A and B are shown apart, each in its own frame.
Chain A
Amino acid sequence: MRYGLKVAYRHLASNLSQTGLLVIGVAVAVFIFIFMSALIGGLADLMVNRTLGGFAHVTIQAEDRELPVLETGSNAELLVARQKSTRDATGIRDALPLLPVIDQLSGVAVSSPQITGGAVLIRGERVRQVGVTGVQPDRVTAIVAFDRYLQEGSLSLTGDGLLIGATLASDMNLSVGSPVTLRTDQGNTASLRVSGIYSTGVGQLDRASAYVDIRTARSLFDIPNAVSRIELKLTDLYEAEAVAARITATTGLDAEPWTATAQQLYEGLRAQSDTGLILKSFALITIVIGVASSLMLTTYRRRPEIGIMRAMGASQGFILFIFVTQGMIVGLVGGLIGASLGLAVLTPLTPSGEVAAGQLPIDVAQGSFGLAIGLTMVGATLAAILPARAASRIDPVEAIGQ
């Protein structure tokens, strides 16, 4: 086999212009593959972040509670009944012992148990209605990437810490260190201090949300043991439905994938990812066609040599091996060059923080480099098999042409 490798290499090296062109072609296709992966991946992240801000991939909530039926007599006036949430205000009671189980489930990256509720934020004369989310202080960034959005202060929530959005802060003239009061509908209050101010670009989060320590939220909303919901991030966004189903199956809890709540976004991302898949497939097909046609040419040009080798006692297997190996070498070298090119070009193109206007949302980390090289090698090898098989079956007498 070592000798077969030598012959294959010699064939490639002796026709540098043909080999070079072929390798460049393969490398370009690999680059396009990687570029598409990085762009579609980055674009998906951007759309997800822009549309939903920090959002959970799967949300575990308490079961729906039936709305009470409004009964009115024929002469009675209809009173407007406001139901803020159809969820059971007492939350998920039996969830806490299940948390380690959920964390261990395959596909789950991180979980964040939360207590949520409405409250008013008070500072002197100023009052604003806000949605309060109590999170574990060590999981502040689990769902929303506050570390990326922090403008001032820190993310420390322990004790009387409070995280608010920039719009809310400027509306109420708050800065880091400002003392504030939260008061709930139940009449509970908490005295807190602004520890950090973020700006996500998502209106609701920046204008009317406040994040506190989950222990603070427990006493504010009188929920001593349960949690309102558990939000999850997954390792793969597109696995949400499967993971949600698995959670429901293992724990009996009601788990909702993001796809159920953000149908349009989901469909948009799917279409985008399908488009990327088609373009990547074209890149692979280009590689296969390029390698196959180049090898067809090579085996045709080398017919007399193949005849000589067969006459000297080279087996059909040897002929097959040297030409399949040529396809494999071209795939490997082209793949490595294309991947290096991808890394060199896409790394500086990847925005370090927020994607600025006019910038491509490329994410080099999502370039699928290994997959690109692997598929290219497999594709190039498969492409080589047909011409190589034909070469191994050449009639030596005819090829030598005596």
Chain B
Amino acid sequence: MTPPDAAPLVELRGLTKTYGEGETATMVLKGLDLTLEKGRMIALLGASGSGKSTLLNILGTLLRPTAGRFTMLGQELFGADDATLTDFRNRHIGFVFQFHNLLPDFSALENVIFPTAVREGVESAQARLRGAELLELVGLADRTHYRATKLSGGQKQRVAVARALMNKPDLILADEPTGNLDSVSAQQVMELIKVVNQREGTTFLISTHDERIAAQCEGRLEIRDGRII
């Protein structure tokens, strides 16, 4: 289901990331090339420590690459300032993390609408409406006003998926989204991601080292020795 305009969503060229300086410097990404098309659902595989999270965080503009070209939606993001990256992230990127996903003092609905509220400066009625719809989509309509801390692990991840969708992003980055869940909950979250991907056409990049997860995606990338193979 590739949309008609085939301009790539993301292009990375010769991307490197080095942690630390001098003698302790470790190069994790070593001239990585990657092109992501819109609307796909891709698994990112690789051994533990291979650099999956590093790559996702760079794509999510949370982490700055050391060198290389990084364009998204035609915009050069390498070296952009913090305010530009923050705004870009808010409008175009959604996240589902493995741990620490939700704001514990907020309800499920408040968590879902956070990305819109923080941009608009208020929790508008419109945002609330969309938030409630998204909670219904992820099957948690009856948990709308539950505090985040009162939800199970699987429910939290589904709220996180709803929140990632809130601002209609172009790309959702999920870093081992099921790594912390039992197999039943993990399967529920994967089903949800598939539905959203098909219905909304949102691009997903899901890091995992679980073959069963990767098998449900329509494409796969593997990272080894600092490059995509």
In the bound complex, do residue B104 and residue A305 qualify as a contact, i.e. CB atoms below 8 Å apart? yes
- Nearest residue (CB) in A for B117 is A3
Q: Which of B94-123 contact A (CB under 8 A)?
A: 95, 97-106, 114-115, 117-123
In the bound complex, do residue A400 and residue B100 qualify as a contact, i.e. CB atoms below 8 Å apart? yes
- CB of A352 within 8 A of chain B? no
Which chain B residues border A4 with CB–CB below 8 Å?
Answer: 121
State which of A1, A11, A311, A314 has its C-beta within 8 Å of the C-beta of B62.
A311
Which chain B residues border A401 with CB–CB below 8 Å?
Answer: 99-100
In the bound complex, do residue A402 and residue B175 qualify as a contact, i.e. CB atoms below 8 Å apart? yes
Stretch at the interface among B65-73, B85-93, B210-218: B85-93
- CB of B82 within 8 A of chain A? yes
- CB of A304 within 8 A of chain B? yes
In the bound complex, do residue B100 and residue A308 qualify as a contact, i.e. CB atoms below 8 Å apart? yes
| Number of residues on chain A facing chain B (CB within 8 A) | 27
Query: Given A10-B105, A305-B103, A305-B104, A313–B90 Cβ distance below 8 Å?
Result: yes
- CB of A2 within 8 A of chain B? yes
- Nearest residue (CB) in A for B61 is A311
- Nearest residue (CB) in A for B124 is A3
Cα separation A310 to B57 with both chains bound (whole Å): 12
Which chain B residues border A1 with CB–CB below 8 Å?
Answer: 121
Contact mask for chain B residues 52-85; partner A; CB cutoff 8 A; 1 contact, 0 none: 0100110010110000000000000000001100
Cα separation A76 to B219 with both chains bound (whole Å): 132
Q: Which of A295-309 contact B (CB under 8 A)?
A: 304-305, 307-309
State which of A10, A312, A316, A318 has its C-beta within 8 Å of the C-beta of B95.
A312
Query: Given A6-B123, A311-B89, A312-B90, A402–B57 Cβ distance below 8 Å?
Result: yes
In the bound complex, do residue A313 and residue B86 qualify as a contact, i.e. CB atoms below 8 Å apart? yes
- CB of B163 within 8 A of chain A? yes
| Number of residues on chain B facing chain A (CB within 8 A) | 36
- Nearest residue (CB) in B for A307 is B100
Which chain A residues border B118 with CB–CB below 8 Å?
Answer: 3, 309, 312-314, 318
Residue of B60, B105, B123 with most partner-chain A CB within 10 A: B105
Cα separation A315 to B119 with both chains bound (whole Å): 9
Q: Which of B33-62 contact A (CB under 8 A)?
A: 53, 56-57, 60, 62
Which chain A residues border B89 with CB–CB below 8 Å?
Answer: 311-313
- CB of A14 within 8 A of chain B? yes
Which chain B residues border A179 with CB–CB below 8 Å?
Answer: none
In the bound complex, do residue B163 and residue A311 qualify as a contact, i.e. CB atoms below 8 Å apart? no
- Nearest residue (CB) in B for A317 is B83
Cα separation A402 to B173 with both chains bound (whole Å): 13
- Nearest residue (CB) in A for B83 is A315
Cα separation A1 to B121 with both chains bound (whole Å): 6
A31 to chain B, nearest CB (A): 30
Cα separation A85 to B83 with both chains bound (whole Å): 80
Which 5 A-B pairs have CB atoms at the shortest separation, nearest pair first?
A313-B90, A14-B105, A304-B100, A312-B115, A314-B118
Give chain B's interface residues, CB within 8 Å of chain A: 53, 56-57, 60, 62-63, 82-83, 86-87, 89-91, 95, 97-106, 114-115, 117-123, 163, 167, 175
| A-B pairs with beta carbons under 8 Å apart, 18 shown | A2-B122, A3-B117, A3-B121, A4-B121, A10-B106, A13-B105, A305-B104, A309-B114, A310-B86, A312-B90, A312-B115, A313-B119, A316-B86, A318-B118, A396-B62, A402-B56, A402-B57, A402-B175
Known: A316-B82, A400-B100. 6 other contacts (CB 8 A): A307-B100, A311-B60, A312-B90, A313-B167, A402-B53, A402-B57
Give chain A's interface residues, CB within 8 Å of chain B: 1-4, 6, 10-11, 13-14, 304-305, 307-316, 318, 396-397, 400-402
